[in-house]
Amino acid sequence: MTHGLKMSKLFAKANYQSAESIKPFWLKASEIPLHDDITLITVITPDTWTELERLVDYWKGPISATLHTNKDENTMTTLREKYNNHAELLKRVDIHLSESPQAGISVLVPRNAERNVARLFAQTEYVMEMPSNMVPATDLRRTLNTNKGMFENLLRDGDVLVVPTFGFPEQESTVYKLPFSKSRLLELVDDDNMFLLDKHWKPNTGPTDLDLWKTATTLYPVSRYDFHYEPIVIESKTIQPWCAERFLDSRPACLFSTYLSGGDFWVLPDDYVVELPETEKNNLSDFDHVIENRLYAKFYWEQCVHHARQLDALGLWKGKRSEHIRTQCSRVIQNWGKGLIGKPE
């Protein structure tokens, strides 16, 4: 089987020629990570290469990054030289090449597909996907190692660990002093110099629940899940569903199936990541945003029915595993097909 055929089978929603241009391990790290470590997975472009270099300063573990670029040999040569001249990149970062005729996000290989590329070729059992303009401000790998037994049981059961995201109210500055402890972070939050960031919600609101996080000393479950929720999570590479590749760029779609299949979202009480200004702005057009929103509304209905049928077929419909779908999708399931399916002839 040719490389192009393999890639087109793995990423069936992508254009064949674009899938054929995916090159796993275009640049391969010299170190082989431990199997039970956490790989940080992300997607970058030539314009956000500096964000990758910043990431390795804050994340001391393995990184699996998909590099989205057009077919420019000069750019490729320059990036290869930068990689070979950076000791930490050379040691810990795997780069997977995704070449496309278009420089920005494209239907040829959607950003969700490129997230899946980085995850597929991660070399550890656990992964954490996040945009390259965020940085971990605490030692997440040490937290996982300290609580290894409990966390591994949760992750292998299909649950995920939520890492709260915080940001700065002023995004124009080029210099930021990151807090490296929860106590210092909360001082900045109380002074309105930082805020909890749950995308699609106002600052300091949203399902992560800032009030609960402030006083938490142990894991707590997300009790106000919404299908737009897109936190940074630590998850199993192999157990969790993959990102739906019909979307150009939709992180919530990467997590919705996890929730419907019964996975709980557990918030870490002392760890967090910080969002910094983007080097490259998201270039989705207004028209693309409309299409994405309409697709996601249909996706919500589809996934509710799909997972309901699966849980019922497995005899799990009345058990704990189906609690999420019964509360999240009750209206969808009760009304599915009414007015659309005629009486049998």
CB atoms within 10 A of CB 216: 16
Checking DSSP bridges between strand 93-99 and strand 63-69, what pairing results, if any? parallel
**pLDDT confidence tier of residue 171, bands split at 50, 70 and 90:** low
- Identify the band that residue 104 occupies on the pLDDT scale cut at 50, 70 and 90: confident
Give burial (CB, 10 Å; 0-12/13-18/19+) of 295: middle
Q: What is the DSSP string of 302-320?
A: HHHHHHHHHHHHTT-TTSG
- Chain centroid to CA 60: how far? 19
Task: Find, among 247, 230, 189, 208, the residue nearest to 14 by Cα.
Answer: 247
Is residue 337 very low, low, confident or very high in pLDDT (cuts 50, 70, 90)? low
Q: How confident is the model at residue 238 (pLDDT cuts 50, 70, 90)?
A: very high
Looking at residue 173, its pLDDT comes to: 58
Pick from 88, 101, 78, 159: nearest CA to 65: 88
Unique residue bearing structure tokens 């239907």:
107
Nearest-CA neighbor of 188 among 198, 199, 206, 176?
176
Q: Can you tell me the mean pLDDT for 36-60?
A: 96
Which range has the worst mean pLDDT, 92-96, 212-216, 231-235, 248-252? 248-252
Contact 42, 130 (CB under 8 A): yes
Provide the 10 A C-beta neighbour count for residue 20. 17
d(CA 253, CA 201): 17
Give the strand pairing for 134-136 and 220-221: unpaired
284 within 8 A of 105, measured Cβ to Cβ:
yes
Contacts of 255 (CB under 8 A, 6+ apart): 160, 229, 230, 231, 233
Residue 231 has a pLDDT of 98
pTM, full prediction: 0.92
Exposed, middle or buried by CB within 10 Å (0-12, 13-18, 19+), for 334? exposed
| Residue 171 Cα distances to 87, 167, 275, 278, 324, angstroms | 30, 9, 10, 9, 36
As a whole number, mean pLDDT of residues 305-331 equals: 89
Q: In what order do the strands lie in the sheet with 195-196?
A: 134-136, 273-275, 165-167, 195-196
Q: What is the mean pLDDT of the chain?
A: 90
Full set of structural domains in the chain with CATH: 3-284 (3.90.550.10), 285-336 (no CATH)
Asked if pLDDT for residue 35 goes beyond 80, the answer is: yes
Query: Closest Cα partner for 44 from 127, 129, 123, 120?
Result: 129
pLDDT top residue among 308 and 136: 136
Sign of CA dihedral 303, 118, 150, 182: negative
